[in-house]
Each structure stands twice: as structure tokens, then as C-alpha cells.
A and B are shown apart, each in its own frame.
Chain A
Amino acid sequence: MLRGAGRFVGDIAHPRAYYVAFVRSPVAYGRITAIDTTRARVLPGVVAVLTSADLQDPELVAVLERPNEEFVRTAMPMLAHDRVRYAGEPIAAVVAESRYVAEDAAEQVWCDIEEFAAIMSLDELGSSAAPIHPEAPDGVLVDLTMFEDEHIAETFAAASLVLEETFRSARVSASPLEARACLAEWRARDEQLVLHASTQIPHQMRTGVAQALDLAERQVRVIAPDVGGGFGLKCVVGREEVVVAAIALRLRHAARWCEDRRENLTASFHGHEQEYRVRAAFDDDGLILSLDADIRCDIGAYSVYPFSCGVEPLMAASELPGIYKVGRYAARARGFATNKPPSAPYRGVSRPQIVLVMERLMDKAARRLGIDRIEIRRRNTIQPHEFPYTGSNGITYEPGSYVEALDLCADALKKAGWWDRRECTDGRLRGIGIINFSERTAYGTSTLSMRKMPMTPGFDVSYVCMDPTGDVVVTTGTCSQGQGHETTFAQLVADRLGIRPERVKLRQGDTNLVSFGWGTWGSRSLVIGGGAATVAARRLADQIKSVAGELLEANASDIDLVDGNAQVRGVSGSQISIDEIAATVHFRSHTLKNSGEHLLEARGMADPSGMFSNASHAALVEVDPGTGDVRVVDYIVVEDCGVVVNPTIVEGQVRGGVAQGIAAALYEELAFSPDGQPLSGTFMDYLLPTASEVPSITIHHLETPCDQTETGSKGMGEGGLIGAPAAVVAAVNDALRGYGADIDCIPIHPADVLAVLQGTSAAQGSRLQETS
């Protein structure tokens, strides 16, 4: 990577590969009446121009196996036919000898589209004469009443304080720096379609391509080489990958596509566009008695494969209460189809929103009841002696350091002098936000089966093999995009084998070389993939000990693997190097009486139900009262992901996540015109934070070991982004405390801040409603 020797999909040389460019819908909603490809076909260098019919109308269907009242089954065509449902939707594919020619030709394809009124916000549902999906006339694709409580009304009637609040978060893009890319080739000798793709889920991509193109799984090989960030955007199967594969298959010629940034921002996958209408009841002491939530997710035009459009509503409703002991809980979560690109599970998946909701409720209740905002959290939080705690949402929380993390964070910001800095009178307004949460990580099959996906993810397998020189290859079905799995998996395996981590090589991201796996998402890799590798390594260690026992004339159970040697415990000098054992097993197996299967290899599997990591975040912000500009100037995280395998990597994940969370709170928003044209098509319009917007982040670790995993670790890939929006919003409200600020929607724009300062703060909610 540092030498420029990384191998991303676009870096793979293929001198003869054709380039594919997509013809995309210029309008948000309409019916295709004609496609004329004549002018494009005749351009020199153009090989083919293909529509859906040319490829036999491939499609993917992502469903939840629930009754039609809860989930409406819809299909996503790989190329639009009949209807287009968002601006940017692919309609045709141009295949040419160079990318330049392909893009020229794409501009020459003429589409006649009868335009319909686009549905661009939840307020416009039902307004169009033509529903987006005829199967769902009201636009509702998901409608889940997760919890009902007939006594909830009584608690509201008896409460000291009832808050009725609406929270919104804008549509955002994961924006990995490497956009999507693929290179497909039919290899006749192997009878295999080889698809290099920038993906988080090679095996699910294999399944999706095989299903869409009617191939057997063995006929598809998916290879994810270096992947330049994913954050969820690459944990779904894109239409373009399937189409490029179909082209390679049809033309029997290699074809490639590299998504450009405009396509990535306007026509790939989005997330996090949600609205929460919440009623919460508190007693005099600030204890939350009940919570009733109506959650509406704008899921865009299609249900994405394989997770379906149920992923955000389901997560939101099932996990909203979080770390707080909510007495009674009721929630309805819906997913609505609109004329925007489909949403995929972007990092955090509903947790940034539910943490924002719960933490705002705590701050509001604290203010209304005159209770310190840290104290009200302490009172409502699951206490150390209450674990395992089963909440009113039916979830059982295993031990975490909820109260301890909050107290440590409060102490850290105090020691860092934040309260003094908050009172500084230099014209700027300063505020402190402090929040606390937990997040379920590493969902296994027992938990994910409750979602009722036809393919239930969750477990992972690993294979560990020692070669004749004593070096080790470990496979995993997870698939790194920069999370350092090469480092951490090697550490885990090496620890169990008593060898140096440099001698362990991780193999991932190739469906021919890795038997199966569920990829990298949902903070699962180190826990589930690493857990499987740990089990496999332990079994391999047992084999090594068995051989060592024979060679050293000792019991295998008396052998320790340490510093590259197998040694008899307590007998100095009685040892043999692991390299020697490896050589003996492979080259001189006839000298062994019990040579087993003549190899040093083992498999392992892990499938935990999922475990809760927790963290407390604090943000210090400065507001410029003249411009409304908000800067996050200092940031503290106290995190507990169980036993930390590699602190550097954990801290890197936290910092990167916090940067994305700060951006979601203050900068990033995908805007559309009222008729559905995307307005955020460049990094000039969609504001990724730079080094100037992200402060130094101080991280403290707590360790509550997890008993579901051999390593004691919990997942932690998403927490930074989950906590940061709530922390920043709390800090901005605190900075504007003198002006009665009550900001509940993200992102917070300078105009929203100015509206508060000028006493016209109703502006924010309506603005987000208009543009969302």
C-alpha cells in the first residue's frame, strides 16, 4: 500500500478488457417508451449496447419471509425496463474498447421516458397517480409493529413529564474513497465466470450473480482484491456488477467497469434517512417509564440484495431503548419506497439515529426536570449488578461497563479542562455534549434468523494450515477493507501456535480459495471470523502437540508451544522446534507412529449470538455566532469492546467512525431537487470532512471480557459513527443553551444555528422536511 503496490480492482491490468459505461435515467420517475441505441452503436470502438431484454431481464429479489402486511416483495431489475424509479438508475450498458469511447457512446443513447411525478419525501406518499411498486400502492414496503403494550397509555397518563419529539437524519453516502469497480471474464478452461469486485461480501456476490444469471455457484468465482473502504456500501450486490458479469458471459470477453464519483454519490446506495416520532414518559426522578416510537425510513426505490429493505426499520425498532431501562416500550417501524436510490446498510445502521433519539430525550428530560444530565443517565442506565439484563425490547444485555464508561468520560473531560473552556468569553459559543450507548455487534445466525431472511448470515468458518517450513496460512470468509485483519488474525493464530505473527498469512476475498463466509459488516470480523480462526488454530496446536509428544516421548497435554518451540512443561531442554515438527510431518511422516492424516491443518467455526460493546463519547464544539459555523474542537471516547486484540487498530476504527459521525452531524447530506434530480454529485456538494474538520480524538479503553468468544473480544467497527452524531448535536445544543436551542435533526447547518441565535428556530425541521 505504502509503495503504491496495492492491487485494487482498477489496478488489475487486462489489456483486452472492454470498458462498460452505463446509460442512466435522466429523470426520477417515469415509464420507458423507447430506447434508441443506433447512434451509439456506430461510434468507432463501440462493441455493443445492451438493454435489459438483451440480457434476458436479469433481476434480484431481496425479501424477508414475513406476511405481506409486514413485508411486500419487490424485485430490482439489473437494468431498468418499463419503469425508471430514480434519476441515475441504469437503463442500458455500452461496451467499448476504451472508457473514453464508452462514455462518449453512452451520451448518444436516446431514451424516451414518459415522466411521472416523483415521490421525494414521506409527505408525498400516495400523491403520485402511479405507485412506485404496484405491489405496494401506499408505498409501504416494510411495516413492523415490533412491540405492543396495552398498558403503555396508563404510564403516559401518570407521568410527571411526557416528551413528544420528532427526530430526523438526512440521507447520506458511505463514500468509500475507492468507488465500486469490477472486472469480469469467462474462463472457458475452468468453466467459470471470474468476477473481480470491490466488495465486502465475496460469497454473497457469488450467490447473487449466480442467481441473477442462472448459473451454478461453482461457475462463479468472486475475487475481492484490495478493497478501498466499504462501510456497508459494498456489502450489497450492485446491479452494475451483475450486468458486467452478464456482458462478459454473453460476449465471452473480459469487461470492466469503474464507478465514477458522480455515479457513486447519485446512483449507488445511500442510507440513514429516517424520521422518529417519539413519545417518552418520565417520572419526577427522571426515570424513563415508557417509550412509544413511530419510525419511518426512506429506503429509496428498491430492496437491496441480500439484506433487503428491512434492515434499517428492523434494527431501529428492536434496539431503540439501548442501555436505558425503559419500563414499557412500543414501536412501529416502516420502510417507504421513494424515487431515490436504494439504501444499503451504511456503518451503524439505525444506531446513530437511535442513540441520537435516546440521548436527546435524556438531555431534554434533564433540562425539564432540573436534573444534571450525567446524573439522569446514571439513574436510567442498566447497573453493573443487573447484568444479564433483559429489556422491554426482549433483548438480553450481557455485562458491559455502561456506568463506568460514562463516569470515566465525564471525569476525562473535566480533567481536560472542558468546563473552563466552555465558559471562555471570546465571542465564540462553546458547548459540551456527553452521551453513552451500547451497540450489538457480531450478529450470529441465532439473532439474524429473527429477521427472517431466506439466507440467514452469521456464522463463519476458518481453515488453518501449517506448511513444511512451519509457516501458516489461515483463511477467513470475512473480507477486510482496511480493518487490518491481516494483522489481527495473524496475532490470534500465532498466539495459539506459539509462533511469530509474521509467519501467519491471511487468505481472504476469493471464493475459490475460501470455502464460504459471510463477509465483513456489522462489526463481525474479528469476533466471528477471528473467533473461527482461533478455534482452528487451537485445534492445529493440539495436532502439533500430539506430534511433539511422540517425538519428545511425553504426553501431548504436557506440551506447551512457546517461542517457536514445542516444549515439555517443567522439563528444561526437552523441546523441539515447531519448524522441525512441520518438516517431520510433511517429509518424514514414515518416522511417526501416529501420523494422523499426514498434514497439519484444522478447521474452526464461530457463530455467537452477538454481544454488546459500549462507549461514552464527549464532544466540545465552538460556534461562530456570526456565521453559524460549528467546529468540533476536542473529542473524547471511552470504549469497551471487551479484550482488545490490537489497540492501534481499535483506535483507528474509532477515529475513522467518529470522523464519519461528525460529518453526519454537521456536513454530509444528499440533496435532491423537488422533481428528484440529485444535487450532491461531487465532493464539492457532498462534504466529506477534511483534516481541518476532524479534531484529535482521545481514546480510553475499558475491558469487559465477553464470554461468547474465546478471545473475550466484542465487535467494534461501527461505534465511532454510532456515538458521534448524538455527541455533536448535544454539544451544539449546549453551546446555544442561552438561546433555548432544541435541535433534533441532522445535519445541523450554519443556517439552523443562525435561526436559533435569531430566535427563529422552527426553521430546521421544516427545511429537512422540504429537502428530504
Chain B
Amino acid sequence: MKDQHLVTIEVNGREHELLLDARRTLADTLREDLGLTGTHLGCEHGICGACTVLLDDQPVRSCLVFGVQADGHQVRTVESLADGDQLSDLQQAFSDHHGLQCGFCTPGFLMLAEAYLETEPEGGPQEVREVLSANLCRCTGYQGIVEAVTVVAADRREKAAVTQRAGDA
């Protein structure tokens, strides 16, 4: 017997109405029902973080969230980061700092880092390392990823300060 539910999920700013089996994961919903295959499945038990997406701005393991749990919520995936052909600052920094090799873990790291950066953190290398320890990468040894996120944190802080000064003036 199928236990199906009609749900509405906003994904990357667009609303989708979906009929989902109760046990269908959010990851499978995104990948197979919506074709957003940038979200990857590396372990399917919540450790590696390759499937990290933002659920109402919070990073979650989409392999451990059921699609029906996202009913009425907003989801952001890696496909939301670039603006057309223009990479986001974070994506560009991953490229500049060799923060990826095979690229399989990259979407998860980007979304984890994006959620972290949106908290406007101090973003020192040690804190960045601790935050990024939530996810696994097997290729890079992490150094490029840590550098990329640290640099973007500093850039965004600098830009916010400039905006703040402009506002004050």
C-alpha cells in the first residue's frame, strides 16, 4: 500500500507541487523528481554531507530529511548559487583556491559554507576548519576549501563594512 502525500515545496525560489511517497527522501525528491542532480549522495547516512542543502536557510542532510518534511518550506540547492553565467563569490573562490578535484563533495561544501557565511561570521581559519569538519572530502586534503571559505568570509565582511560606512555617510 502506498502512503502518498501532496506537498508544496519552494525550491530555489520556485514553487513545486509534488505527490511523494512518505518514505521518499528530500535528496531523491530533488534529484529525481526535480532533476536537480547537483545535490549528491555520498553515504546516505548523514555523515559525508555531500547532500547538504539549505532548508529555510539552515544546512541539512537531504538524505536524512523526507521530502514530505519539506512541505511548505523553502529549499536551496547548489543550482541556486550562480547568477546565470556568473559564479557566486564562493564558487569563484573554490575555483581560485583549488577547493575541488573530483567535484562530488563540492555542492555539499558550497551549501554548508554558504549557510555559514550568511551568519556573517568572524571566519578565522580555525573556526572555518571546525565548521567544514561537518562534511567529508576525499580528494583535496581540505586546504583549498578552507582557504576559499576564509577568503570569502573576509571579503564579505569587508564589503558589508563598506556598505555600512556608505549608509552611515
Contact = CB atoms under 8 A, between A and B. Distances in A.
Interface string A1-16: 1111111101101000
B37 A11 contact: yes
Interface residues of A, number: 50
A6 B37 CA distance: 8
Interface in B64-105: 77-79, 81-82, 87, 91, 94-95, 98, 100-105
Contacts of B82: 2-3
B79 A3 contact: yes
A660 B138 contact: yes
The 4 closest A-B CB pairs, nearest first, are: A4-B38, A482-B102, A228-B104, A1-B103
Contacts of A260: 44
Contacts of B79: 3-5
Given A6-B38, A682-B43, A482 B143 contact: no
A648 B24 CA distance: 41
A278 interface: no
A692 to B, nearest CB: 4
Contact of B91 (A3, A176, A655, A683): A3
A8 B102 CA distance: 10
Interface in A605-639: none
Nearest to A684: B47
Interface string B129-145: 11011111111111111
Contact of B142 (A11, A175, A226, A691): A691
Nearest to A480: B102
B41 interface: yes
Interface centre among A1, A100, A176, A481 (most CB of B within 10 A): A1
Interface residues of B, number: 54
A240 interface: no
A552 interface: no
A658 B100 CA distance: 16
A10 B23 CA distance: 20
A465 B90 CA distance: 36
Interface string A136-180: 000000000000000000000000000000000000000111110
26 contacts: A1-B106, A2-B81, A2-B82, A2-B94, A3-B38, A3-B78, A3-B79, A3-B81, A3-B87, A4-B38, A8-B37, A10-B37, A10-B40, A177-B50, A177-B102, A177-B136, A229-B101, A229-B104, A482-B103, A482-B139, A652-B144, A655-B141, A660-B138, A683-B136, A688-B136, A690-B142
Given A3-B78, A177-B137, A229-B104, A683 B41 contact: no
Interface string A210-252: 0000000000000000111101000000000000000000000
Interface string A643-656: 00000110110011
Nearest to B105: A177
B45 interface: yes
A194 interface: no
B110 interface: yes
A3 B42 CA distance: 18
Given A1-B106, A656-B138, A651 B44 contact: no
A178 B42 contact: yes
Given A5-B38, A261-B43, A694 B104 contact: no
A264 B146 CA distance: 28
B55 interface: no
Contacts of B95: 2
A255 interface: no
A260 to B, nearest CB: 6
B156 interface: no
Contact of B138 (A5, A177, A261): A177
B152 interface: no
B36 interface: yes
A258 interface: yes
Contact of B98 (A3, A5, A651): A651
Given A2-B87, A4-B39, A688 B102 contact: no
B153 interface: no
Contacts of B31: 10-11
Nearest to B101: A482
Nearest to B44: A260
B102 A229 contact: yes
Contacts of A231: 138
Interface centre among B87, B94, B106 (most CB of A within 10 A): B106
B110 A694 contact: no
B59 interface: no
B133 A691 contact: yes
B130 A652 contact: no
A229 B143 contact: no
Contact of B102 (A226, A659, A690, A691): A226
B21 interface: yes
A696 B43 contact: no
Interface string B12-48: 0000000001011000000100011111111111011
A604 B30 CA distance: 44
Interface centre among B100, B102, B105, B137 (most CB of A within 10 A): B102
B107 interface: yes
Interface in B101-133: 101-107, 110, 129-130, 132-133
A179 B138 CA distance: 12
B104 A691 contact: no
Given A8-B104, A656-B139, A691-B142, A2 B91 contact: yes
Contact of B101 (A11, A261, A656): A656
A691 B138 contact: no
A195 to B, nearest CB: 19
Contacts of A261: 42-45, 48
Interface string A176-209: 1111000000000000000000000000000000
Contacts of A694: 141-143
Nearest to A481: B102
B145 A691 contact: yes
Contacts of B78: 2-4
A483 interface: yes
Nearest to A688: B136
A562 interface: no
B116 to A, nearest CB: 12
A100 B23 contact: yes
Given A482-B139, A683-B136, A690-B133, A1 B100 contact: yes
Contacts of B48: 177, 261, 683, 688
Contacts of A4: 36-39, 77-79, 107
A371 interface: no
Contacts of B87: 2-3
A224 B140 CA distance: 21
A484 interface: yes
A506 interface: no
Contacts of A11: 31, 37
Nearest to A265: B43
A261 B134 CA distance: 17
Nearest to B96: A648
A683 B47 contact: yes
A315 interface: no
B21 to A, nearest CB: 7
A741 interface: no
A352 to B, nearest CB: 16
Nearest to A655: B141
B139 A229 contact: yes
Given A4-B79, A651-B98, A228 B38 contact: no
Contacts of A484: 101
Given A178-B42, A683-B47, A697 B141 contact: yes
A178 B130 contact: no
B143 A697 contact: yes
Contacts of B106: 1-2
A496 B106 CA distance: 33
Contacts of A177: 40, 42, 48, 50, 102, 104-105, 136-139
Interface centre among A100, A691, A696 (most CB of B within 10 A): A691
Interface centre among B39, B133, B139, B144 (most CB of A within 10 A): B139
A2 B100 contact: yes
